[in-house]
Amino acid sequence: MTTDAAILNALRQFPGAGVSGAALSAQLGISRAAIWARIEELRRLGYEIDASPHSGYRLIAVPDALHGDDLLTRLRQPRVVGREIHVFRETTSTNDVVERMARDGLAEGVVVFAESQTRGRGRLSRRWVSSAGKGLWLSVLLRPRLQPLGATRITIAAATSLVRAVRRVVGLETEIKWPNDVLVRGRKIAGILTELAAEVDSIKHLVLGMGVNANQSASDFPAELKGLATSLRLEAGAAVDRPALAAAILEELELDYSRICDGRFDEVAAEWEQGCSTLGRPVRIQVGDRIVQGRAEALDPEGALLVRTHHGNLERVLGGDVTVLK
Considering only 30, 287, 306, 324, the residue that binds its own copies (CB under 8 A) is 287
Does residue 284 bind its own copies (CB under 8 A)? no
CB of 225 to its own copies, least distance (A): 21
Per DSSP, the residues of 37-65 read: HHHHHHHHTT-EEEEETTTEEEEEE--SS
Does residue 45 bind its own copies (CB under 8 A)? no
Per the CB < 8 A criterion, the answer to whether 272 and 282 are in contact is: no
Phi and psi torsions of 224, nearest 5°? -70, -10
For 79, the 3-state DSSP assignment is coil
Q: Which of 224, 289 has the CB closer to its own copies? A: 289
Does residue 323 bind its own copies (CB under 8 A)? no
Q: Which of 219, 313 has the CB closer to its own copies? A: 313
Does residue 243 bind its own copies (CB under 8 A)? no
CB of 145 to its own copies, least distance (A): 6
Stretch that binds its own copies, among 74-82, 86-94, 262-270, 315-323 (CB under 8 A): 315-323
Considering only 148, 167, 168, 308, the residue that binds its own copies (CB under 8 A) is 148
The DSSP element (H or E) to which 163 belongs, if any, is helix 151-170
Does residue 200 bind its own copies (CB under 8 A)? yes
Q: Would residue 124 be called left, alpha or beta, if left means φ above 0 and alpha means ψ between -120 and 50 degrees?
A: left
CB of 36 to its own copies, least distance (A): 47
Considering only 93, 131, 152, 160, the residue that binds its own copies (CB under 8 A) is 152
Considering only 59, 62, 72, 196, the residue that binds its own copies (CB under 8 A) is 196
Closest listed residue to residue 261, CA positions, set 146, 129, 136:
146
ω into residue 243 within 30 of 0, thus cis? no
Stretch that binds its own copies, among 27-35, 82-90, 136-144, 317-325 (CB under 8 A): 317-325
- In angstroms, the CA 299 to CA 22 distance is 56
Stretch that binds its own copies, among 4-12, 38-46, 196-204, 268-276 (CB under 8 A): 196-204
Does residue 191 bind its own copies (CB under 8 A)? no
Question: How many angstroms separate the first and last alpha carbons of the chain?
Answer: 52
The DSSP element (H or E) to which 87 belongs, if any, is strand 84-88
Stretch that binds its own copies, among 80-88, 198-206, 223-231, 234-242 (CB under 8 A): 198-206
Per the CB < 8 A criterion, the answer to whether 315 and 292 are in contact is: yes
- In angstroms, the CA 280 to CA 287 distance is 19
Q: Which of 178, 221 has the CB closer to its own copies? A: 178
Considering only 139, 194, 215, 278, the residue that binds its own copies (CB under 8 A) is 194
CB of 102 to its own copies, least distance (A): 11
Q: Which of 149, 183 has the CB closer to its own copies? A: 149
Considering only 82, 179, 191, 243, the residue that binds its own copies (CB under 8 A) is 179
Cα–Cα–Cα angle for 119, 121, 125, nearest 5°? 110
Looking at residue 101, the DSSP 8-state letter turns out to be H
Per the CB < 8 A criterion, the answer to whether 209 and 138 are in contact is: yes
Considering only 147, 258, 277, 293, the residue that binds its own copies (CB under 8 A) is 147
Per DSSP, the residues of 247-274 read: HHHHHHHHHHHHHHHTT-HHHHHHHHHH
CB of 194 to its own copies, least distance (A): 5
Positions in the binding site for its own copies (CB under 8 A): 123-124, 145, 147-149, 151-152, 155, 179-180, 193-202, 204, 287-288, 317-320
